[in-house]
A and B are shown apart, each in its own frame.
Chain A
């Protein structure tokens, strides 16, 4: 490989501290070897669950104190298909009966009244509404009614919530935001745009970048002497996203439910299709850029070569692992038992984690995703399936990783383009900004909500209410994406100096460890 070598920069810096020529006498490969040797025993994995399209986390993690709930209900219990969830304690209403809370007849299982009330969760530490006097009673919270297993994970201490995270260049208040071009602090550009906000979340740069922060974390732990730390350190179950691309580390795409695709005939020798030369010629053609001098041809051949180099090793590792498949999943919309694509991806992740010793690797970053969160329309129907899939998949993955006795080594977290509008467009929601996220694993300081859960509601001229935490329909984030990711990166074992290099705006925020990970 001719790619530049990246090793643990903190190791190099430590060596450089000797102040002599010594570090330069040590070859970069030796440094990498040293890094690999010291860290071999402490395996860690980060698993990013990307909720593609911008999850309406206003309906995932909710504040249920009466002031919050009143404004939530006002904003969402309207339109042709109201998206307001039912308050805590509301019994489910069967189809054909009338919900006294919603004041309508329930006609489908996609009606929130059919699901019953949101599921209360009690954070370990009391939370107040921002700006509320200290003597106020603590706020109350809940999860979506279709996520009972997430509630159990929260109460078991293996899941935490993180409130109102979004792309920020620096801490930003509403007053500052409203000054727009004269704002004393910069405001991120291209908010509300899927591609750009995905790029911000996945690169760790508000304006996007050529590589992803998942790949760059893997870069930190790459060892020049161990090809696996190049090939199997950043894995994805879908078309490689920006998140997975490192400077040196190449994203590895895993095929859920199956091994790596191998070109079987290349393993054969002798004659093929009546030609003694065909197999050799086939191999040569796959590995040679015949369009010599064309950079696109070079890139294609490099991708083929990567595939040919890794497939057998990956499959051999996979064959030695045992991870049970997910339990049956019933699609609530159809009643049919079917596969849950998120659980299937997480099984492939668990299998890879189970095989980390076979691959001789001690740090891995995974990216899985679930699509369909761009709920402009029919949000109730779409969330019926999506939140059921999340509940089932997270619970399954928690069990699978605990069965491997690796729960303290694996941290799973959600990410998404953005949160959605607080008000409804009739039967759905539109693009917005700050949103709420979940972090799961044995190393999580679970059972609590981190960050600052915002004031809810939109400004109302009639009542005189103004929300200090929102502009129009969008929450102004109080925690930056980079603070969130850096907290995960620090747990992963990345030095503060490397974190500041990977997340260029992190330095604008005083708090670089949000506390949701045990250290």
Chain B
């Protein structure tokens, strides 16, 4: 044990040096012939923790070869994406398999969407696109908690978010508006005009939330995200209920795609594949009155006795004009910019950081507004994204989904069946308390302005959105899940079951790389193991205290037999890695991305 203190020193110094941004940890530092990570590798990992579902050896090498900007450009290349419809295709395949396996009675459920998600984030190369879809899914929220959103409808929504992830914001907004998922979730489909009925009014749900949550928010913003204040020092509202009522009329007369539109197809999908296709216009249900909102007025249809084709033309042009008014509002840049920074990088960006991202949104350098690739590039390449010396409120609490995805990706997890079987609901509060497309409400798992009550964070006027899901239940559940995950090799493993849940081991890792980080005696050595975990889980920022604790535990993890066989050694090596990974993943060195 005495040697452990000595062996740990270079890494502790290295980590400190990295966080101070100064010294390159010599890549020649070696234990036996195992090279320790370089400073450049740590920096690459730190970036990848923000931009992907988790760093791994391949990506760390790739980012060091390419510049970050080049890597981002490469990610936007659609050839990186296996198929634009892969989520829907996954559901279709699994639906057929489940039906065949259950006497034609089986059905795909939202569990199959979770399979598709994990398959993609663990294995697919288009990591930034997937992260962007994940981020957008928390800004333009739909949820399987609404049972009318079928697995296919949810999968089509995810395919849509991936498709438009690096496109133009106004195109994304239009695609979301015409998606079946949003159509159901915020009641766009089947919304009929009430032009001549003063006792009825169009549904206002989507009109309100598209403004409040997806584009401009409640207050007028300066380009740096701070609220515009009136003479009395109060924030200035962006809209009133009159604007909502005006905009609500725009979103009338949208229903499911059908060759022969009927009252029924207006309200629910009747034709094959209508559920995964964009909604279409139903002129007979569309308001022909003028619509005033955000200080502009879209004109009434004044043609006497218009034909259906004339109303369709009017409605389509009006929809584009309305979304254009929203997308060109000066709030969108700082509003969306702050949210994207919070999803990828940190909870508390400085006003300047928000302004720089908003500037990129407003003009991508070629005079184009709303370029989401330019926007996310600005988010990820900002000088503030990876500071040399993170401050007290820097970084963010890693989302539970990202904690798990990092484990999968860092340690080379794979699915034995190829179907990434998911046998539980990760969104349960006694599980991870988060799963994609499983938010409880349109306000997502957490809101951008949340600060834990009574905390220093709140007292300082700072925020930490992900803490909205932190409480006595979820903290203990997470720790328990991680202990079980690592012991059983699968998130659904259960220590309370007598033999664990063997059937749940489909997506697992054998920790093959890590158990080979051995010393001259064939035992896994603390130094290279910790260096690797520091690289893959902590971006080179593992503290000296945690390093020391893990070192001691690894050294104390020994065979019970006095004359261990090769099998005993292999077993104890696995336990050394398990213990080290467990400690890493419950530590704030991992939990706080910074």
A positions within 8 Å CB-CB of B: 3, 52-53, 74-75, 78-80, 189-196, 210-212, 215, 239-240, 242, 245-248, 250-253, 255, 258, 260-265, 273-278, 281-282, 284-286, 288-304, 306-308, 310-311, 371, 374, 376-377, 421, 423-428, 430-431, 458, 460-461, 473
A-B contact count (CB 8 A): 262
Contact of B594 among A251, A284, A291, A424 (CB under 8 A): A291
Q: Tell me if B556 counts as interface (CB < 8 A to partner A).
A: yes
Are B191's CB and A215's CB within 8 A? Answer: no
Q: List 20 A-B contacts (CB under 8 A).
A: A211-B453, A245-B454, A246-B454, A248-B454, A253-B472, A261-B430, A264-B496, A274-B558, A278-B579, A284-B549, A289-B588, A291-B395, A292-B545, A296-B464, A304-B476, A306-B475, A376-B187, A423-B199, A424-B199, A431-B208
B506 to chain A, nearest CB (A): 23
In the complex, are the beta carbons of B557 and A278 less than 8 A apart?
Answer: yes
Q: Inside 8 A of B579's CB, which chain A residues have their CB?
A: 273, 275, 278, 281
Rounded to whole angstroms, the CA-CA distance of A424 and B433 in the bound complex is 36
B588 adjacent to A294 (CB under 8 Å):
yes
Stretch of B125-133, B312-320, B330-338, B386-394 on the interface side:
B386-394
Q: Are A290 and B545 in contact (CB under 8 A)?
A: yes
Beta-carbon contact of A291 and B588 below 8 Å: yes
Distance to closest chain B CB from A1 (angstroms): 10
In Å, the complex CA distance between A40 and B423 comes to 48
Choose, from B70-78, B97-105, B300-308, B440-448, the stretch at the interface: B440-448
8 Å CB contact of A297 from B475, B553, B588: B588
Closest residue on chain B to residue A74 by CB atoms? B199
The answer to whether the Cβ of B550 comes within 8 Å of any Cβ in the partner chain is yes
Q: Are A430 and B575 in contact (CB under 8 A)?
A: no
Q: What 7 A-B pairs have minimum CB-CB distances, sorted nearest first?
A: A245-B453, A297-B588, A307-B472, A261-B476, A275-B557, A376-B187, A376-B205
When distances are taken between beta carbons in the complex, the residues of chain B under 8 Å from A264 are 480, 495-496
Instruction: Tell me how far the C-beta of A407 lies from the nearest C-beta in chain B, rounded to whole angstroms.
Output: 29
Which residue of B has the minimal Cβ distance to A2?
B456
Contacts of B496 in A (CB 8 A): 264
B586 within 8 A of A: yes
Whole-angstrom CA separation of A193 from B456 in the bound complex = 28
Q: Report which of A273, A306, A310, A428 forms a contact with B203, defined as CB distance below 8 A.
A: A428
**B501 to nearest A CB, angstroms?**
16
A336 to B190, CA, bound (A): 29
Which chain B residues numbered 550 to 594 have a C-beta less than 8 Å away from chain A?
A: 550, 552-554, 556-560, 572, 575, 578-579, 582-583, 586-589, 591-592, 594
Query: What's the Cα separation between A307 and B546 when bound, in Å?
Result: 22
Selected contact of A311 from candidates B212, B457, B472, B557, CB within 8 Å: B472
The distance in angstroms between the C-alpha atoms of A55 and B141, with both chains bound, is 22
Contact B475 A307 (CB under 8 A): yes
The interface residues of chain B lying within 8 Å CB-to-CB of A239 are: 429, 433, 440, 468-469, 471, 474
Contact in complex: A80, B190 (CB < 8 Å):
yes
B483 touches A265 (CB 8 A): yes
* A278–B212 CB distance below 8 A: no
A255 adjacent to B200 (CB under 8 Å)? no
Given contacts A78-B200, A239-B469, contact A290 B460 (CB under 8 A): no
In this assembly, does B167 line the interface, its C-beta being within 8 Å of a C-beta of chain A? Answer: no
Residues of chain B within 8 A (CB-CB) of A252 are 472
**Chain B 369-409 residues near chain A, CB threshold 8 A:** 390, 392-397
Known: A211-B453, A299-B456. A275 touches B588 (CB 8 A): no
Distance in angstroms from B150 CB to nearest chain A CB is 16
* CA distance in complex: A180, B384 (Å): 43
Residues of A within 8 A of B474 (CB): 239, 253
Q: A192 to B241, Cβ gap below 8 A? A: yes
Chain B contacts of A311 at CB under 8 A? 472, 476
Nearest CB in chain B: distance from A342 CB, A: 15
Shortest CB–CB separation between residue B460 and chain A, in angstroms? Answer: 7
Q: A296-B396, A376-B187 are in contact. Are A277 and B200 (CB under 8 A)?
A: no
User: Please, what's the 1-or-0 string for B186-200, where 1 marks a CB less than 8 Å from any CB in chain A?
Assistant: 110011101001111
* B267 at interface, CB cutoff 8 A: yes
A358 nearest CB across to chain B (Å): 18
Contact residue among A192, A212, A290, A306 (Cβ-Cβ distance under 8 Å from B472): A306
Closest to B545 in A: A290
Known: A192-B241, A247-B454, A371-B440. A274 touches B471 (CB 8 A): no
Tell me which residues across on chain A come within 8 A of B470, comparing CB atoms: 299-300, 303
A78 to B452, CA, bound (A): 46
Q: A195-B447, A296-B395 are in contact. Are A425 and B202 (CB under 8 A)?
A: yes
**Bound state CA distance, A230 and B309, in angstroms?**
67
- Residues on A with C-beta less than 8 A from B471 are 239-240, 251, 253, 303, 307
- Cβ-based interface call for B417 (8 A): no
A263–B479 contact, CB under 8 A? yes
> Inside 8 A of B447's CB, which chain A residues have their CB?
195
Residue B543, interface by CB 8 Å: yes
Instruction: Give A209's nearest chain B residue, CB to CB.
Output: B453
Q: Is the CB of A295 within 8 A of B587?
A: no
A307 neighbours in B (Cβ, 8 Å): 471-473, 475-476
A353 to B487, CA, bound (A): 38
Q: Please tell me if the beta carbons of A263 and B483 are within 8 angstroms of each other in the complex.
A: yes
Nearest CB of chain B from residue A165's CB, rounded to whole Å: 20
CA distance A210 to B468 in the complex (A): 13
Query: Which B65-92 residues have C-beta < 8 A from chain A?
Result: none
Contacts of A274 in B (CB 8 A): 557-560, 572, 575
Contact B393 A295 (CB under 8 A): yes
Q: Most B CB atoms within 10 A — which of A192, A251, A282, A371? A: A282
How far, in angstroms, from A284 to B267 measured CA to CA in the complex? 57
Query: A377 touching B187 by the CB < 8 A rule?
Result: yes
* B347, CB-defined interface residue at 8 Å: yes
Select from chain A the residue with minimum beta-carbon distance to B571.
A274
Pick from A75, A215, A290, A473: contact of B453, CB under 8 Å: A215
Of residues A277, A308, A430, A431, which shows the largest number of chain B Cβ atoms within 10 Å of its Cβ?
A430
- B95 lies within 8 A of chain A by Cβ: no
Q: Chain B residues near A460: list those with CB within 8 A.
A: 198
Q: Which of B190, B202, B430 contacts A255, CB < 8 Å?
A: B430
Q: How far is the CA of A288 from the CA of B548 in the complex (A)?
A: 13
Expressed in whole angstroms, the minimum distance between the Cβ of B244 and any Cβ of chain A is 7
Decide yes or no whether B201 CB sits under 8 A from chain A: yes
Chain A residue numbers with a CB within 8 Å of B395 are 291, 294, 296
A277 to B201, CA, bound (A): 67
CB closest residue in chain A, given B476 = A261
Is the beta-carbon distance between A299 and B472 smaller than 8 angstroms?
Answer: no
Asked whether A299 and B452 contact (CB < 8 A) given A255-B429, A273-B578, A307-B476, the answer is yes
Kindly report which residue of chain A lies nearest to residue B209, judged by CB atoms: A194
Query: Does B560 lie within 8 Å of A79, measured CB to CB?
Result: no
Q: Which residues of B are found within 8 Å of A308, using beta-carbon distances?
A: 476
CB nearest to B449 among chain A residues:
A195
- What are the residues of chain B within 8 A of A192 when measuring CB–CB? 208, 241, 244
Does A294 lie within 8 Å of B592, measured CB to CB? Answer: yes
With the chains together, A297 CA to B201 CA distance in Å? Answer: 49
Q: Which residue of B lies closest to A3 (CB)?
A: B454
Contacting residues, chain A, for B347 (C-beta < 8 A): 296
Most buried by A among B192, B496, B549: B549
> Which residue from B191, B397, B543, B556 sits with its C-beta under 8 Å from A296?
B397
A296 to B346, CA, bound (A): 11
Closest to B542 in A: A290
**Distance A192 CA – B245 CA, assembled complex (angstroms):** 12
* Selected contact of A428 from candidates B187, B218, B244, B495, CB within 8 Å: B187
The answer to whether A301 and B588 touch (CB under 8 A), given A293-B392, A295-B455, A296-B393, is: yes
Contact A190 B218 (CB under 8 A): yes
Q: State A78–B453 Cα separation when bound (angstroms).
A: 46
On chain B, the residues within 8 Å of A262 by CB distance are 476
The answer on a CB contact under 8 Å between A290 and B589 is: yes
Shortest distance in angstroms between B591's beta carbon and chain A's nearest beta carbon? 6
